[in-house]
Structure 1
Amino acid sequence: MNVLERFSLKGKVIVITGGTGVLGGSFVKAIAEAGAKLCIIGRSEEKALERVRLAESYGAEAIAVVADVMDEQSMILAKDVILRKWGTIDGLVNAAGGNIPGATIGPDQDLFDNKISDTIKAIELNLYGTIIPTLVLGEVIAKRGSGAIVNISSLTAKRPFTRVLGYTVAKHGIDGFTKWMAAELALRYSDKVRVNAIAPGVFLTEQNRSLLTKEDGSYTDRAQRIVNGTPFSRLGDPSELEGTLIYLLSDAASFISGETVFVDGGFNAWTGV
């Protein structure tokens, strides 16, 4: 197998949770282009079917499964659908997550007036929403003895951002879970079972554009502070996550496990001086 072939996902079955989300479109596009078959899991059938059509436009075979990553039984049912369709799972991308408005502490809000219940919900969505699919769907990968799991961490796990307590705590947990699962799966099953994570920096999307940019297109104060701390001096584009995702899912990363790869324009590496 030459080096280009090792980056291919041709014929592999890849499951992506949160495939209907903010970054899901770029992930679906990239996996489809790499030749995989896709199962797109989300809570909205309409949005999941839109992503199926996106995958098909790149020549990929894809299905949509409506399921809740926070519900073990829902994940078991999703697994049954996938196995009936394709008989196996070669890769899992845990892209479900995000922040909850009530878990964000406003700049003029007293720190201790935050909604504790919403903070807990943010932790559960991001952390449990990764653990549950991994323990259900990842079992197929483990018992077949090969495959890759990619979790979505965050820059906030290394450089905590103000205002987003629950999200920060959850992403720290994902980093720890990634390392733990990587070690356990390799030791107990096979050196061909890998678990890694991607830690995105701050990406400009249609969903957060109004929060990060003003009407004239200039950055908001918070976005400008992020840009000032980034050697690339800009925010990221979701498409810039695609190469790292495909690499970690592919055989090209066969000796990489337990790692978190930063895709952040150098933010985490820079001291600011």
Structure 2
Amino acid sequence: MKEYQVNLRTVDVTRYILPLREGGSLPALAEANDGFKYVLKFKGAGHGVKALIAELLGGEIARSLGLYVPEIVFAHLDEAFGRTEADEEIQDLLQFSQGLNLALHFLSGSLTYDPATKAIDPLLASKIVWLDAFITNVDRTFRNTNMLYWHQELWLIDHGAAFYFHHAFTNWEKSALTPFALIKDHVLLPQASELDAVDSAFKKILTPAVLEGIVQLIPEEWLVWEGYEWTPGQIRAVYLSFLNTRLAHSDLFINEAKNARHAIV
């Protein structure tokens, strides 16, 4: 397998089209200067840049493992953008999000994955369960699958709820060694019968160089956190150490997932 090459583009947002769903984060459908439409995630919403960091790391780790993820780009919002927006809440969101944000290519015509209508191949299910256990993603459940069907393939979206340790950013070592009990709620867990094989394969793919390359993608400006004395370099190092530690002890979350699966099948 080729070494994973990390290369993200930067686009300028030219048009806000519409909010995509209700809620505090208010992601939006937007158009950029390359002519494409994107699902735009704002640093001025919800958990701010930490949600964008989780989206970036989770999405690019998934891509490195051969899973389908919409192209992720950095999306720049000019300081004048949104001044004519009539909705005050959206206008505030746009103003607080000036600078660098994150966006995913909009999969036009895609359909939300419904577990009641289509089963997933056990190997693919195991790959996705492994990924979410690894990055501690709490948001791929029956209530909200965060997967789309597009061009007959299953695509993963919305990793902003992963890496939840970083909202406190204390005792990351303990967080890295969590078995992740919430994997019991994963929508694909019943089909994930190939976890051991996936674990062996994925640990060979996620080399230290691959993980470091992905962590290095985090923009410097997203690593300046108010109320923290950590430098951007120190924060980046914690993310990388978290990933390397978690990978080295993958048996913890693999055994948790297998035990949870045995309880329901």
So what's the TM-score if we normalise by structure 1? 0.27
Task: Name whichever structure is richer in helix by fraction.
Answer: 1
- Scaled by the length of structure 2, the TM-score of the pair is 0.28
